[in-house]
Amino acid sequence: MQRFGRPMVAAMHRRAPAAYAASEIRHLLARGGCPICRAGQEAIERYLFWFFHEFYSEPSVILRYVRSRGFCPRHLTLIGERGPQWQLTAIFSWIIADILRALDAPAPPLRSRFQQLRRHVSAGDALTRVLQPDGLCLLCEVEEEAASHTALMLLDVLEYDEDVRDRYAASGGCCLPHVHRVARAAGRHHEQAIATIHRVLRDRLASLEHLCNEFFRKADYRFAHEPKGEEREAWRQALQLFGYHGRATAVFDQAPARRAEGERS
Ligand SMILES: [Zn+2]
Ligand SMILES: [Zn+2]
């Protein structure tokens, strides 16, 4: 009976994903860009609303952002732009109080000869210990959770839903870091899903490679008269493929000295 144990149970539960999963993936694909990045952004939006209304003062949440010593630079920018004055003051007052207490606390006794010797070569040890984040930034955790959940949902839906496979291909698919993440989450039964993700990534990379080549070809004086096209956006498309979500603008539109000769560097 053992050989019909857990694998058989798993196979019996392996079925077409629930309708809500397919509709969620359709919704994310319709918004454009990487569906997993979108899911993360939507989760952050929902969380931020409740965070600034209620969660920020719940002891378990305070403990998390105090232990992580605040937020990562990306989410610090976000809460700085979105946070109300009262809540931001409260959040940082708790973090500051904890850091001050830790800075003023007496250093733990050195237990071994090795530690005593090490003390002389690591003057920054105590300060490092106080400022070392313990755990992920709270908002990184929210994104992380949404990404894990969406990666699995995407795999299941792509495996069974041809229409979603077409939509995924038309949208350009996931950014490169999230393709990596989805690939790591895939099981043996996600062959069709992975084949689709692989093909879409390959097509997108090949298309970008072509755009980059076009960009440099048209920089050559012999072809400079040709009308400029999508190749001017190659750098922006590349940033997006590699997971960039900022508002980059091309500030380097002047030809470097050697660009007139069609060279890349
Ligand atoms: Zn992404
Ligand atoms: Zn973060």
Ligand showing the shortest atom-to-Cα distance for residue 154: 1
Q: What whole-number distance in Å separates Cα of residue 221 and Cα of residue 215? A: 12
CA of 131 to the centre of ligand 2 (A): 16
Point out the least confidently predicted range of 9-13, 166-170, 179-183, 210-214. Answer: 9-13
Which ligand has an atom closest to residue 65 CA?
Answer: 2
Determine the average pLDDT of the residues in 177-188. Answer: 96
CB-count exposure of residue 26 (10 Å: 0-12, 13-18, 19+): middle
Mean pLDDT confidence for 41-50: 96
pLDDT of residue 214 exceeding 90? yes
Note the ligand closest to the C-alpha atom of 47: 2
Mean pLDDT of 151-178: 96
Confirm whether pTM is higher than 0.75. yes
Instruction: Tell how far the Cα of 28 is from the centroid of ligand 2, in angstroms.
Output: 22
Which of these, 230, 219, 215, 183, lies nearest to 202 by C-alpha position? 183
How many helices (H) and strands (E) the chain has is answered by 13, 0
Task: Kindly report the backbone phi and psi dihedral angles of residue 234, in degrees, each rounded to the nearest multiple of 5, phi listed first.
Answer: -55, -45
Predicted local confidence at residue 5, as pLDDT: 38
Cα→Cα distances 234→66, 198, 213, 215, Å: 41, 21, 9, 8
- Residue whose C-alpha is closest to residue 230's, from 251, 207, 253, 248: 207
**What confidence score (pLDDT) does residue 80 get?**
95
Question: How many angstroms separate the alpha carbon of residue 136 from the centre of ligand 2?
Answer: 7
Question: Has residue 102 got a pLDDT over 90?
Answer: yes
Distance 10 CA to ligand 1 centre (A): 29
End-to-end CA, the chain:
66
Q: Is the pLDDT of residue 103 over 50?
A: yes
Token pair belonging to 151:
């990666």
Helix axes 138-160, 35-53, angle to 10 degrees: 140
Which distant-in-sequence residues (6+ apart) come within 8 Å of 195 by Cβ?
Answer: none
Distance from the alpha carbon of residue 151 to the mean position of ligand 2, in angstroms: 19
Q: How far apart are CA 133 and CA 38, in angstroms?
A: 27
How many CB atoms are located within 10 Å of the residue 253 CB?
Answer: 7
Mean pLDDT of the chain: 87
Neighbours of ion ligand 2 (CB under 5 A): 72, 75, 137, 139-140
